[in-house]
């Protein structure tokens, strides 16, 4: 009898535990929504790179040139709150590598980068022109954005939820079942890549710039119960 009981107990322990019925009786889908919108602000990464025989000379020349750029940007309507130093560097200029000689220092290179926020895109071209005229010789790119992204992001969320619901209904119909209540919702959101949209050259500023459109994207995962 003890041997039989031991065998029954061993068999019971070997059986897998049954998962709750609800956990298997669901449909999980991911919906995506994108809203294209014209940006209303831009951030420029620009700066000044200078060289000099000594570190002090390189930095002094750089500071003088950058101050002239900042003064011109302010005269173009850029406020102090929209100017921020993003990178400052001072490095020796090593030469002699290519000729197989012992490397030596031939002066120094100073670089100071600014992050410039432009809140009026109609002035973007003139701002670029002003900064280049007064000594900015390094441009690391322009990014476009929205001053108030929340309303557009909410529209993308609504579109993502509608997409997820449509996918769930399609899958349920194909499987011959009906959707029940929502069991869980999770979200991940971000920007899409800018899409080119060129301006008329006649209305372009001193430096032609195409602001294009940015796509605000939302992704939503929804788990539905399958109705009994």
Task: Give the CATH number for residue 215.
Answer: 3.30.110.170
Do 140 and 205 have their domain in common? no
pLDDT by residue (tens digit) across 148-186?
999 999 999 999 999 999 999 999 999 999 999 999 999
* Domain boundary, last residue among 93, 111, 145: 145
Q: Do 120 and 46 share a domain, yes or no?
A: yes
138 and 176 in a single domain? The answer is no
CA distance 162 to 169: 11
Low-confidence ranges of the chain (pLDDT < 70): 1-24, 98-100, 189-208
- pTM higher than 0.85 for the full model? no
Residue 85 shares a structural domain with residue 130: yes
CB distance 185 to 167 below 8 Å: no
- Regarding whether 141 and 154 lie in a shared domain, the answer is no
Burial of 180 (0-12, 13-18, 19+ CB in 10 A): middle
pLDDT at 88: 93
The DSSP symbol for 119 reads: S
Whether 2 maps to a domain, the answer reads no
Classified as helix, coil or strand, 187 is: strand
Question: Residue 99's pLDDT is what?
Answer: 64
At 9 the pLDDT is 43
| Last residue in a domain, options 145, 167, 195 | 145
pLDDT value of residue 128? 87
Q: Can you give the pLDDT at residue 6?
A: 47
Do 31 and 102 lie in one domain? The reply is: no
CA nearest 124: which of 190, 211, 220? Answer: 211
Among 145, 172, 207, identify where a domain stops.
145
High-pLDDT (> 70) share of the chain, %? 79
Same domain, 71 and 106: yes
Place of tokens 């750089």: 62
**Do 55 and 139 fall into the same domain?**
yes
Whether residue 46 sits in one domain with residue 25: no
pLDDT of residue 21: 34
Residue 168 and residue 215 in contact, taking contact as beta carbons nearer than 8 Å: no
| Whether residues 122 and 82 fall in one domain | yes
User: What domain range is 138 assigned to?
Assistant: 41-145
Say whether both 57 and 121 belong to one domain. yes
Produce one character per residue of 186-222: b if its CB has 16 or more CB atoms within 10 Å, e if not.
eeeeebeebeeeeeeeeeebeeebebbbbbbbbbbeb
* pLDDT for the residue numbered 206: 56
pLDDT number for residue 18: 36
CATH number at residue 72: 3.30.70.2970
């Amino acid at each position: 009898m003890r041997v039989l009981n031991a065998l029954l107990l061993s068999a019971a322990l070997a059986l897998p535990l049954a998962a709750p019925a609800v956990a298997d009786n669901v449909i999980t889908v991911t919906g995506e929504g994108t809203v294209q919108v014209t940006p209303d602000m831009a951030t420029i990464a620009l700066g000044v790179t200078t060289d000099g025989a000594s570190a002090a000379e390189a930095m002094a020349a750089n500071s003088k040139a950058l101050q002239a750029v900042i003064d011109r940007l302010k005269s173009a309507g850029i406020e102090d709150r929209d100017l921020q130093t993003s990178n400052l560097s001072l490095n020796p200029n090593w030469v002699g590598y290519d000729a197989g000689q012992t490397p030596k220092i031939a002066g120094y290179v100073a670089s100071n980068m600014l992050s410039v926020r432009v809140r009026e895109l109609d002035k973007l071209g003139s701002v670029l022109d002003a900064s280049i005229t007064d000594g900015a010789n390094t441009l690391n790119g322009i990014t476009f954005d929205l001053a108030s992204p929340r309303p557009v992001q909410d529209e993308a969320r609504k579109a993502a939820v509608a997409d997820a619901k449509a996918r769930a209904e399609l899958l349920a119909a194909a499987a011959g079942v009906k959707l029940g209540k929502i069991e869980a919702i999770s979200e991940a959101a971000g920007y899409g890549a800018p899409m080119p949209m060129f301006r008329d050259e006649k209305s372009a500023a001193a430096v032609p710039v195409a602001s294009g459109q940015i796509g605000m994207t939302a992704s939503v995962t929804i788990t539905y119960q399958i109705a009994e």
